[in-house]
Structure 1
Amino acid sequence: MSQTYDIAVLVGSLRKASFNRKVAHALMEMAPPSLKLDIVEIGDLPIYNQDPDDEGTPPAAWTAFRERVGRADGLMFITPEYNRSVPSVLKNAIDVGSRPYGKSAYAGGKPGAVISVSPGAIGGFGANHHLRQSLVFLDVLTMQQPEAYLGGVAKWFDDAGKLQDESARKFLQTIIDAYAAWVERIAGSRKQQA
Protein backbone atom coordinates (compact mmCIF):
# COMPACT_ATOMS: atom_id res chain seq x y z
CA MET A 1 0.00 0.00 0.00
CA SER A 2 1.41 3.40 -0.99
CA GLN A 3 1.88 6.20 1.50
CA THR A 4 -0.40 9.26 1.50
CA TYR A 5 1.17 12.49 2.75
CA ASP A 6 -0.80 15.23 4.48
CA ILE A 7 0.13 18.60 2.96
CA ALA A 8 -0.90 21.83 4.69
CA VAL A 9 -1.52 24.53 2.08
CA LEU A 10 -1.23 28.15 3.21
CA VAL A 11 -2.79 30.62 0.78
CA GLY A 12 -1.55 34.17 1.23
CA SER A 13 -4.56 35.94 -0.26
CA LEU A 14 -7.90 36.45 1.47
CA ARG A 15 -9.83 37.73 -1.56
CA LYS A 16 -12.99 35.78 -2.46
CA ALA A 17 -11.88 35.62 -6.10
CA SER A 18 -8.21 35.06 -5.24
CA PHE A 19 -6.08 33.72 -8.08
CA ASN A 20 -3.93 32.09 -5.39
CA ARG A 21 -6.87 30.10 -4.05
CA LYS A 22 -7.84 29.12 -7.61
CA VAL A 23 -4.31 27.84 -8.19
CA ALA A 24 -4.49 25.93 -4.88
CA HIS A 25 -7.73 24.25 -5.95
CA ALA A 26 -6.30 23.41 -9.38
CA LEU A 27 -3.27 21.79 -7.73
CA MET A 28 -5.56 19.87 -5.36
CA GLU A 29 -7.38 18.41 -8.37
CA MET A 30 -4.12 17.51 -10.14
CA ALA A 31 -2.33 16.05 -7.13
CA PRO A 32 -1.36 12.40 -7.35
CA PRO A 33 -2.92 10.01 -4.82
CA SER A 34 0.23 10.21 -2.69
CA LEU A 35 -0.63 13.80 -1.69
CA LYS A 36 -3.64 15.02 0.25
CA LEU A 37 -3.62 18.81 -0.02
CA ASP A 38 -5.62 20.68 2.61
CA ILE A 39 -5.99 24.46 2.70
CA VAL A 40 -5.33 25.67 6.24
CA GLU A 41 -7.13 28.96 6.74
CA ILE A 42 -5.02 31.81 8.10
CA GLY A 43 -7.30 34.85 7.83
CA ASP A 44 -8.69 34.65 11.36
CA LEU A 45 -5.39 34.20 13.21
CA PRO A 46 -4.93 37.02 15.73
CA ILE A 47 -1.85 39.14 15.03
CA TYR A 48 1.15 37.62 16.77
CA ASN A 49 2.14 39.15 20.10
CA GLN A 50 4.50 37.23 22.37
CA ASP A 51 2.70 38.20 25.60
CA PRO A 52 -0.05 35.51 25.44
CA ASP A 53 2.59 32.83 24.86
CA ASP A 54 4.67 34.13 27.79
CA GLU A 55 1.57 34.15 29.98
CA GLY A 56 0.54 30.64 28.93
CA THR A 57 -2.71 31.88 27.38
CA PRO A 58 -2.27 31.67 23.60
CA PRO A 59 -5.49 32.24 21.61
CA ALA A 60 -7.29 29.02 20.67
CA ALA A 61 -6.83 29.90 16.99
CA TRP A 62 -3.04 29.94 17.44
CA THR A 63 -3.06 26.59 19.21
CA ALA A 64 -5.26 24.94 16.57
CA PHE A 65 -3.12 26.35 13.75
CA ARG A 66 0.12 25.20 15.38
CA GLU A 67 -1.26 21.70 15.92
CA ARG A 68 -2.51 21.47 12.32
CA VAL A 69 0.77 22.64 10.79
CA GLY A 70 2.78 20.53 13.22
CA ARG A 71 1.11 17.27 12.19
CA ALA A 72 1.42 17.96 8.43
CA ASP A 73 3.93 15.88 6.49
CA GLY A 74 4.67 18.79 4.16
CA LEU A 75 3.87 22.44 3.49
CA MET A 76 2.84 24.34 0.38
CA PHE A 77 2.80 28.14 0.34
CA ILE A 78 0.84 29.88 -2.41
CA THR A 79 1.21 33.63 -2.26
CA PRO A 80 0.66 36.89 -4.07
CA GLU A 81 3.27 39.63 -3.92
CA TYR A 82 2.62 42.78 -1.92
CA ASN A 83 5.33 45.43 -2.13
CA ARG A 84 7.98 42.88 -3.20
CA SER A 85 7.20 40.67 -0.20
CA VAL A 86 4.52 38.39 1.18
CA PRO A 87 1.16 39.69 2.45
CA SER A 88 0.94 40.44 6.16
CA VAL A 89 -1.60 37.64 6.70
CA LEU A 90 0.93 35.04 5.53
CA LYS A 91 3.79 36.57 7.49
CA ASN A 92 1.56 36.50 10.57
CA ALA A 93 0.82 32.80 10.02
CA ILE A 94 4.54 32.13 9.75
CA ASP A 95 5.16 34.01 13.00
CA VAL A 96 2.29 32.33 14.86
CA GLY A 97 3.42 28.86 13.79
CA SER A 98 7.06 29.49 14.62
CA ARG A 99 6.42 30.42 18.25
CA PRO A 100 6.94 30.03 21.15
CA TYR A 101 10.65 30.03 20.43
CA GLY A 102 12.01 26.48 20.25
CA LYS A 103 8.57 24.96 19.59
CA SER A 104 8.06 25.84 15.93
CA ALA A 105 5.29 23.91 14.16
CA TYR A 106 7.38 24.21 10.99
CA ALA A 107 10.49 22.53 12.43
CA GLY A 108 11.75 19.10 11.57
CA GLY A 109 12.73 19.46 7.94
CA LYS A 110 9.26 19.28 6.39
CA PRO A 111 9.28 19.28 2.58
CA GLY A 112 7.98 22.61 1.32
CA ALA A 113 7.01 24.31 -1.91
CA VAL A 114 6.67 28.01 -2.66
CA ILE A 115 4.40 29.14 -5.48
CA SER A 116 3.94 32.84 -6.17
CA VAL A 117 0.96 33.96 -8.20
CA SER A 118 0.36 37.26 -9.95
CA PRO A 119 -1.59 38.78 -12.81
CA GLY A 120 1.65 40.67 -13.55
CA ALA A 121 4.50 39.52 -15.75
CA ILE A 122 7.14 38.68 -13.13
CA GLY A 123 4.91 36.27 -11.22
CA GLY A 124 5.59 37.41 -7.67
CA PHE A 125 9.34 36.80 -7.87
CA GLY A 126 10.06 39.10 -4.90
CA ALA A 127 7.49 37.44 -2.64
CA ASN A 128 8.71 33.98 -3.63
CA HIS A 129 12.31 34.70 -2.63
CA HIS A 130 11.42 36.71 0.45
CA LEU A 131 9.33 33.79 1.72
CA ARG A 132 12.17 31.36 1.02
CA GLN A 133 14.42 33.41 3.35
CA SER A 134 12.03 32.80 6.24
CA LEU A 135 11.63 29.12 5.41
CA VAL A 136 15.39 28.55 5.60
CA PHE A 137 15.34 29.74 9.21
CA LEU A 138 12.25 27.64 9.95
CA ASP A 139 13.92 24.43 8.68
CA VAL A 140 11.40 23.92 5.87
CA LEU A 141 13.21 22.06 3.08
CA THR A 142 11.93 24.01 0.10
CA MET A 143 11.81 22.40 -3.33
CA GLN A 144 14.21 24.22 -5.64
CA GLN A 145 13.03 23.09 -9.09
CA PRO A 146 10.86 23.76 -10.91
CA GLU A 147 10.67 27.35 -9.77
CA ALA A 148 7.06 28.51 -9.60
CA TYR A 149 6.58 32.19 -10.46
CA LEU A 150 3.12 32.17 -12.00
CA GLY A 151 2.53 35.36 -13.99
CA GLY A 152 -0.40 36.38 -16.16
CA VAL A 153 -2.84 34.20 -14.21
CA ALA A 154 -5.83 36.48 -14.78
CA LYS A 155 -6.33 34.72 -18.14
CA TRP A 156 -6.04 31.17 -16.78
CA PHE A 157 -9.48 30.68 -15.24
CA ASP A 158 -13.06 30.75 -16.49
CA ASP A 159 -15.89 32.60 -14.73
CA ALA A 160 -16.49 29.59 -12.46
CA GLY A 161 -12.86 29.61 -11.32
CA LYS A 162 -11.86 26.49 -13.27
CA LEU A 163 -8.49 26.33 -14.96
CA GLN A 164 -8.95 26.68 -18.71
CA ASP A 165 -5.43 27.45 -19.96
CA GLU A 166 -3.82 24.21 -21.18
CA SER A 167 -0.20 25.41 -21.08
CA ALA A 168 -0.80 26.56 -17.50
CA ARG A 169 -2.33 23.17 -16.69
CA LYS A 170 0.77 21.40 -18.02
CA PHE A 171 3.07 23.61 -15.97
CA LEU A 172 1.01 23.17 -12.80
CA GLN A 173 1.09 19.40 -13.37
CA THR A 174 4.88 19.60 -13.60
CA ILE A 175 4.97 21.49 -10.31
CA ILE A 176 2.69 19.13 -8.39
CA ASP A 177 4.43 16.02 -9.76
CA ALA A 178 7.84 17.41 -8.81
CA TYR A 179 6.54 18.28 -5.36
CA ALA A 180 5.12 14.77 -4.90
CA ALA A 181 8.58 13.38 -5.68
CA TRP A 182 10.17 15.88 -3.28
CA VAL A 183 7.77 14.92 -0.49
CA GLU A 184 8.47 11.23 -1.06
CA ARG A 185 12.20 11.89 -0.99
CA ILE A 186 12.13 13.95 2.24
CA ALA A 187 9.12 12.75 4.23
CA GLY A 188 9.24 9.21 2.87
CA SER A 189 12.81 8.66 3.99
CA ARG A 190 11.96 10.08 7.41
CA LYS A 191 9.03 7.67 7.81
CA GLN A 192 11.21 4.72 6.79
CA GLN A 193 13.74 5.66 9.48
CA ALA A 194 11.04 5.95 12.16
Structure 2
Amino acid sequence: MTHHTIAVVVGSLRKESINKKLAQALEKLFPADFSLTHVRIDDLPLYNQDDDGQLCAQVMRLKGEISAAQGVLFVTPEYNRSVPGVLKNAIDHASRPYGQSAWNGKPAGVIGTSGGPMGSALAQQHLRNILAYLNMPTLGQPEAFIQTKEGLYDEAGNIGEASLKFLQGWVDAYVAWVKKHN
Protein backbone atom coordinates (compact mmCIF):
# COMPACT_ATOMS: atom_id res chain seq x y z
CA MET A 1 0.00 0.00 0.00
CA THR A 2 1.34 3.43 -0.95
CA HIS A 3 1.58 5.95 1.85
CA HIS A 4 0.51 9.56 1.14
CA THR A 5 1.64 12.60 3.08
CA ILE A 6 -0.61 15.65 2.92
CA ALA A 7 0.72 19.09 3.79
CA VAL A 8 -1.94 21.01 5.70
CA VAL A 9 -1.82 24.78 5.33
CA VAL A 10 -4.15 26.63 7.70
CA GLY A 11 -4.63 30.26 6.73
CA SER A 12 -5.14 31.50 10.28
CA LEU A 13 -2.59 32.26 12.97
CA ARG A 14 -5.09 32.81 15.78
CA LYS A 15 -4.50 30.66 18.86
CA GLU A 16 -8.15 29.55 18.97
CA SER A 17 -8.54 29.37 15.19
CA ILE A 18 -11.74 27.66 14.11
CA ASN A 19 -10.00 26.67 10.87
CA LYS A 20 -7.15 25.00 12.77
CA LYS A 21 -9.77 23.16 14.82
CA LEU A 22 -11.47 22.04 11.59
CA ALA A 23 -8.14 20.81 10.16
CA GLN A 24 -7.44 18.80 13.31
CA ALA A 25 -10.92 17.24 13.25
CA LEU A 26 -10.69 16.41 9.54
CA GLU A 27 -7.35 14.69 10.08
CA LYS A 28 -9.15 11.96 12.04
CA LEU A 29 -11.31 11.16 8.98
CA PHE A 30 -8.39 10.22 6.68
CA PRO A 31 -7.54 6.56 6.06
CA ALA A 32 -4.51 4.88 7.61
CA ASP A 33 -2.41 5.20 4.44
CA PHE A 34 -2.55 9.01 4.74
CA SER A 35 -0.68 11.18 7.21
CA LEU A 36 -1.12 14.91 7.57
CA THR A 37 1.71 17.32 8.29
CA HIS A 38 0.73 20.75 9.53
CA VAL A 39 2.93 23.32 7.77
CA ARG A 40 4.09 26.32 9.76
CA ILE A 41 3.56 29.71 8.08
CA ASP A 42 3.62 32.13 11.02
CA ASP A 43 7.37 32.76 10.93
CA LEU A 44 7.76 33.59 7.24
CA PRO A 45 9.04 37.07 6.35
CA LEU A 46 6.95 39.13 3.97
CA TYR A 47 7.61 37.99 0.43
CA ASN A 48 10.14 40.17 -1.38
CA GLN A 49 11.34 39.21 -4.86
CA ASP A 50 14.77 40.61 -4.01
CA ASP A 51 15.23 37.62 -1.69
CA ASP A 52 14.60 34.98 -4.40
CA GLY A 53 18.34 34.40 -4.85
CA GLN A 54 18.94 33.66 -1.18
CA LEU A 55 15.96 32.02 0.53
CA CYS A 56 15.89 32.13 4.33
CA ALA A 57 15.68 28.95 6.43
CA GLN A 58 11.94 29.36 7.08
CA VAL A 59 11.16 29.54 3.36
CA MET A 60 13.43 26.58 2.62
CA ARG A 61 11.59 24.59 5.31
CA LEU A 62 8.21 25.53 3.80
CA LYS A 63 9.27 24.60 0.28
CA GLY A 64 10.74 21.32 1.54
CA GLU A 65 7.56 20.32 3.38
CA ILE A 66 5.39 21.09 0.36
CA SER A 67 7.76 19.30 -2.03
CA ALA A 68 7.81 16.18 0.16
CA ALA A 69 4.01 15.93 0.26
CA GLN A 70 1.80 14.11 -2.22
CA GLY A 71 -0.98 16.67 -1.79
CA VAL A 72 -1.91 19.90 -0.05
CA LEU A 73 -4.97 20.59 2.07
CA PHE A 74 -5.77 24.29 2.42
CA VAL A 75 -8.05 25.21 5.33
CA THR A 76 -8.80 28.89 5.08
CA PRO A 77 -10.83 31.52 6.83
CA GLU A 78 -12.23 34.46 4.92
CA TYR A 79 -10.80 37.91 5.59
CA ASN A 80 -12.47 40.81 3.80
CA ARG A 81 -13.99 38.48 1.20
CA SER A 82 -10.66 36.88 0.29
CA VAL A 83 -7.79 34.76 1.61
CA PRO A 84 -5.80 35.98 4.62
CA GLY A 85 -2.56 37.80 3.86
CA VAL A 86 -0.51 35.22 5.77
CA LEU A 87 -1.78 32.46 3.47
CA LYS A 88 -1.06 34.46 0.32
CA ASN A 89 2.41 35.24 1.66
CA ALA A 90 3.13 31.52 2.16
CA ILE A 91 1.81 30.71 -1.31
CA ASP A 92 4.03 33.38 -2.86
CA HIS A 93 7.12 32.20 -1.00
CA ALA A 94 6.73 28.53 -1.99
CA SER A 95 6.02 29.45 -5.62
CA ARG A 96 9.26 31.37 -6.12
CA PRO A 97 11.75 31.89 -7.62
CA TYR A 98 9.95 31.60 -10.94
CA GLY A 99 10.17 28.06 -12.32
CA GLN A 100 10.90 26.55 -8.89
CA SER A 101 7.41 26.33 -7.41
CA ALA A 102 6.94 23.71 -4.70
CA TRP A 103 3.19 23.74 -5.48
CA ASN A 104 3.46 22.57 -9.10
CA GLY A 105 1.29 19.53 -9.76
CA LYS A 106 0.31 18.93 -6.12
CA PRO A 107 -3.35 17.85 -5.83
CA ALA A 108 -5.14 20.36 -3.64
CA GLY A 109 -8.18 20.30 -1.42
CA VAL A 110 -9.79 23.58 -0.35
CA ILE A 111 -12.07 23.87 2.64
CA GLY A 112 -12.77 26.43 5.31
CA THR A 113 -15.11 27.52 8.02
CA SER A 114 -16.52 30.74 9.41
CA GLY A 115 -19.20 31.78 11.83
CA GLY A 116 -21.37 32.98 8.97
CA PRO A 117 -23.55 30.93 6.63
CA MET A 118 -21.24 31.49 3.62
CA GLY A 119 -18.53 29.45 5.35
CA SER A 120 -15.51 31.08 3.62
CA ALA A 121 -16.97 30.64 0.12
CA LEU A 122 -15.39 33.77 -1.37
CA ALA A 123 -11.97 33.06 0.13
CA GLN A 124 -12.14 29.55 -1.30
CA GLN A 125 -13.03 30.90 -4.75
CA HIS A 126 -10.11 33.32 -4.70
CA LEU A 127 -7.80 30.55 -3.51
CA ARG A 128 -8.96 28.28 -6.36
CA ASN A 129 -8.01 31.02 -8.85
CA ILE A 130 -4.52 31.21 -7.35
CA LEU A 131 -4.11 27.42 -7.33
CA ALA A 132 -5.12 27.19 -11.00
CA TYR A 133 -2.25 29.53 -11.87
CA LEU A 134 0.12 27.42 -9.75
CA ASN A 135 -0.81 24.29 -11.73
CA MET A 136 -2.37 22.54 -8.74
CA PRO A 137 -5.18 20.19 -9.73
CA THR A 138 -7.85 21.19 -7.22
CA LEU A 139 -10.80 19.07 -6.10
CA GLY A 140 -13.86 20.78 -7.54
CA GLN A 141 -16.68 18.78 -5.99
CA PRO A 142 -17.95 18.53 -3.41
CA GLU A 143 -17.44 22.09 -2.30
CA ALA A 144 -17.38 22.54 1.46
CA PHE A 145 -18.39 25.89 2.90
CA ILE A 146 -18.62 25.05 6.59
CA GLN A 147 -20.42 27.20 9.14
CA THR A 148 -19.00 26.84 12.63
CA LYS A 149 -21.97 26.45 14.91
CA GLU A 150 -23.16 24.25 17.74
CA GLY A 151 -22.98 20.58 16.80
CA LEU A 152 -20.15 20.86 14.28
CA TYR A 153 -17.92 19.13 16.84
CA ASP A 154 -18.59 16.72 19.66
CA GLU A 155 -17.17 17.14 23.17
CA ALA A 156 -13.90 15.44 22.13
CA GLY A 157 -13.32 17.81 19.18
CA ASN A 158 -14.35 15.27 16.54
CA ILE A 159 -16.74 16.15 13.74
CA GLY A 160 -20.24 15.99 15.16
CA GLU A 161 -22.89 13.55 14.01
CA ALA A 162 -24.86 16.12 11.98
CA SER A 163 -21.85 16.97 9.77
CA LEU A 164 -19.96 13.67 9.82
CA LYS A 165 -21.50 12.09 6.71
CA PHE A 166 -20.90 15.18 4.57
CA LEU A 167 -17.35 15.83 5.78
CA GLN A 168 -16.37 12.16 5.56
CA GLY A 169 -17.64 12.26 1.97
CA TRP A 170 -15.53 15.34 1.32
CA VAL A 171 -12.41 13.70 2.78
CA ASP A 172 -13.09 10.51 0.78
CA ALA A 173 -13.39 12.55 -2.43
CA TYR A 174 -10.12 14.34 -1.66
CA VAL A 175 -8.35 11.03 -0.89
CA ALA A 176 -9.49 9.66 -4.27
CA TRP A 177 -8.34 12.92 -5.92
CA VAL A 178 -4.85 12.61 -4.41
CA LYS A 179 -4.59 8.97 -5.48
CA LYS A 180 -5.73 9.85 -9.00
CA HIS A 181 -2.99 12.51 -9.30
CA ASN A 182 -0.09 10.51 -7.84
> What TM-score, normalized to structure 2?
0.95
**Cα offset, 1:154, TM superposition:** 3.4
Distance 2:80 2:28 in 1: 31
> What TM-score, normalized to structure 1?
0.89
Structure 1 unmatched runs, 5+: 188-194
Alignment-derived partner of residue 34 in structure 1: 33
1:170 pairs, out of 155, 165, 169, with 165
Distance 1:170 1:39 in 2: 24
Is 1:133–2:129 an aligned residue pair?
yes
**Cα offset, 1:163, TM superposition:** 3.0
SS in 2 for 1:77: strand
1:90-142 Cα shifts (integer Å, max 9, x gaps): 000000000001100001x2111000211100111100000000000001100
Structure 2 unmatched runs, 5+: none
Alignment-derived partner of residue 9 in structure 2: 10
Tell me the amino acid that sits aligned with residue 111 of structure 1: P
Q: Is the 8 A contact 2:11 2:74 kept in 1?
A: yes
Q: Which has the higher helix share?
A: 1
Q: What RMSD over aligned residues (CA atoms) do the two structures have, in Å? A: 1.3
2:109 pairs, out of 106, 113, 116, with 113
Tell me the amino acid that sits aligned with residue 125 of structure 2: H
**Cα offset, 1:158, TM superposition:** 5.4
Matched positions, count: 181
**Cα offset, 1:159, TM superposition:** 6.6
User: Percent identity, aligned pairs only?
Assistant: 48
SS in 2 for 1:76: strand
Alignment-derived partner of residue 48 in structure 1: 47
